[in-house]
Amino acid sequence: MRRGANSQEKNITVGIDIGSSKICCAIGQLQENSSTKLMGIGIAPSKGLNHGNIVHRDQLIEQIEKAVEAAEMMADISVERAIISMTGEHIRCINTVGAVALNKGNSPNLVAEQSITMSDMEKAIELSQAVSLPIDKDILHVLPQDYLVDTLAFIKNPIGMTGRRLEARVHLVIAATTAMQNLKNCVEELGIDFEGIVFQPLASSLVTLNEDEKNLGVTLVDMGAHTTDITVYHGDAVRYSSVIPIGANSITNDIAVMLQIGLETAEEIKIKYGSAKASLASSELNFDLPVSNGGPKRSISEHEVSRYIEARMQEIFQLIIREISKADVKGKLTYGIVLTGGGAQLRNLGALATETMDLKVRVASPTNITGIKEVAENPEYTAALGLLLWNTQSDDFKNSTQESALTLKTVSHKISAWFKDFF
Ligand SMILES: Nc1ncnc2c1ncn2[C@@H]1O[C@H](COP(=O)(O)OP(=O)(O)OP(=O)(O)O)[C@@H](O)[C@H]1O
Ligand SMILES: [Mg+2]
């Protein structure tokens, strides 16, 4: 069902975050002052997806439709095109370089040397993508980090400089071609034009991180139901990204197994009584557990349940630390960790994270969006709201993966848009 105003007419952007626990569709409108106003949000439980992989296509399409319809209803706008988010174990990253020779004539006269142009940058970025990928993988994002001109490093904008060699350092995010293609097909089957796919934590970072954090170093951790997604920023660029195939649902599973109860009850207990730090949970507060097959009455304290939760969370934090150590960053990240995603809502998670990882930690809900904020000010919605800013605020040279190789024209267009902000 499509209703209301047409999304193409009113600077409307639509983001669909396809998570393992819920599908969230957000509709935003770009304002004259360049801010984005949230117009509507729709949620549907996720079905047909497991650890980011489609396991039942029809169910997934049905749930996407429900989320889109709910958002359309709230915004009174019909969705015609959308950007979608993706995560999954198949996602990998590589830092690469692409280099071009400048002033090949080797002129002895420095003044006569030509300065670096946009076309040189385009070539360097294009060459950085010439990596040998497995047959089933494709490039999802091309994120420039910085440039080297001869021996001068960490240059953000080399245009106008002179030298012999220009090197672009680029962060590539790689994903399984089939996974991307199938997600695209699901959205298109609903009559929605596909605008591109975004790796979940990159979308989340647009509405959670500030410039200082990205510059001096921070790790964005999006803790979802089945996955924990990570992006490390330093020097105002992405240095590392990865997916840990364990999310907040592992806590629910642990509670269910330890207490021999169903997953639904375990989820309720986690949300109502769970604390990431057992020492901050009460040993006095006992609650009853469901009685199974005429067995004896059972009860358990908040503290006891929280002990299981703390053990699992410490394991996840160790995995996060291991991933961060793989990032190409020297020294400690000044701003430590920013936690977001539904899993970040666990009580006392920030306190446990600070203690276990010995890092500065903050839990973040989406910001930078105006409109019906109170509806969306929840860490579960960060990726969906981040998608609304993707077209206007991301540094990506390629957010539509299916059109495989970047043509010079596309690169040029993206670079022009990018540099418009600098002058
Ligand atoms: N108040 C809360 N306290 C603790 N955990 C919570 C709370 N609210 C939600 N969660 C947990 O957050 C997780 C869902 O998070 P989120 O909605 O970000 O996942 P998703 O984006 O659908 O999944 P993924 O990113 O793995 O694909 C679930 O495990 C849920 O139990
Ligand atoms: Mg998620």
- The enclosing domain of 345 has a CATH number of 3.30.420.40
pLDDT at 395: 83
Which CATH number do you get for residue 141?
3.30.1490.110
The tally of domains found in the chain comes to: 2
Nearest to 395 by CA among 113, 172, 220: 172
Ligand nearest to the CA of 52: 1
Question: Atom 21, ligand 1: which residue's CA is nearest?
Answer: 19
Indicate if 221 and 166 belong to the same structural domain: no
pLDDT at 420: 43
Indicate if 156 and 257 belong to the same structural domain: no
Indicate if 351 and 219 belong to the same structural domain: yes
DSSP state of 311: H
Indicate if 341 and 219 belong to the same structural domain: yes
Show the low-confidence residues of the chain (pLDDT under 50).
Answer: 1, 111, 399-423
Ligand nearest to the CA of 340: 1
Residue 403 lies inside a defined structural domain of this protein = no
Indicate if 319 and 248 belong to the same structural domain: yes
pLDDT digits (tens, 9 = 90+) for 205-246: 999 999 999 999 999 999 999 999 999 999 999 999 999 999
Mutate to test the pocket of ligand 1, among 222, 265, 273, 345 (most ligand atoms within 8 A of CB): 345
Residue 350 lies inside a defined structural domain of this protein = yes
22 CA from centroid of ligand 1 (Å): 8
pLDDT at 318: 95
363 CA from centroid of ligand 2 (Å): 15
Choose one of 364, 380, 403: the last residue of a domain: 364
Site residues for ligand 1, CB cut-off 6 Å: 19-22, 46, 52, 87, 200, 224-227, 247-249, 252, 267, 270-271, 341-343, 345-346, 380
The span from the CA of 407 to the CA of 411, in Å, is 6
Identify the three-state secondary structure at position 407: coil
Indicate if 112 and 213 belong to the same structural domain: no
pLDDT at 330: 81
Boundaries of domain holding 140: 92-175
Choose one of 312, 343, 364: the last residue of a domain: 364
Residue 310 lies inside a defined structural domain of this protein = yes
- Residue 33: φ, ψ to 5°: -85, 20
Choose one of 319, 343, 364: the last residue of a domain: 364
pLDDT at 104: 61
150 CA from centroid of ligand 1 (Å): 47
Indicate if 223 and 339 belong to the same structural domain: yes
Question: Atom 25, ligand 1: which residue's CA is nearest?
Answer: 224
Q: State the burial class of residue 84 (Cβ atoms within 10 Å of its Cβ: 0-12, 13-18, 19+).
A: buried
For 134-158, give one letter per residue: b (16+ CB within 10 A) or e. Answer: eeebbbbbbbbbbbbbeeeeebeeb
Residue 273 lies inside a defined structural domain of this protein = yes
Identify the three-state secondary structure at position 114: coil
The pTM is what? 0.89
Question: Atom 6, ligand 1: which residue's CA is nearest?
Answer: 343
The span from the CA of 188 to the CA of 254, in Å, is 37
